Amino acid sequence: MTFVNITALTFPDGAQEEIERRFAARSRRVDASEGFEGFELLRPVTGEDRYFVVTRWATREHYETWRASRGEGGHEEDTRRGMSVAPMGFEVVQHDEP
């Protein structure tokens, strides 16, 4: 069953350009991970002030394996700069395409 991880990014005012620049320059190592199906960075427009990072995986196990391979931490500098991350996981129970 497809697994979707959504990470909400909270950031200080004025950091929007930095967030988009950093994701545009991302290393893309995740793209080669087994079970990885896609990535999206969502910019807030209405009803929300956080960015959302959306990744799709063939299974939750694929996501968990990739996550474990990254080790702990990785966001200490962002935390010091007033940014925070909040990951959320979902299983896709229905998916329709035109």
pLDDT in tens, the chain (98 residues): 899 999 999 888 888 898 899 889 887 888 999 999 999 999 999 999 999 999 999 999 999 999 888 766 555 555 556 677 788 899 999 988 88
Would you say residue 93 lies in a domain? no
Overall domain count for the chain: 1
Would you say residue 94 lies in a domain? no
Which domain does 10 fall in, by range?
Answer: 3-86
We report the CATH number of the domain holding residue 23 as 3.30.70.100
Q: Which residues contact 6 (CB under 8 A, 6 or more apart)?
A: 52, 53, 54, 87, 88, 89, 90
| Cα-to-chain-centroid distance, residue 93 | 20
Report the SS3 class of residue 62: helix
Instruction: Determine the pLDDT at residue 26.
Output: 81
Would you say residue 13 lies in a domain? yes
Q: Which residues contact 2 (CB under 8 A, 6 or more apart)?
A: 37, 56, 57, 58, 59, 91, 92, 95
Instruction: Determine the pLDDT at residue 81.
Output: 62
Would you say residue 97 lies in a domain? no
pTM, full prediction: 0.80
Instruction: Determine the pLDDT at residue 74.
Output: 53
Would you say residue 98 lies in a domain? no
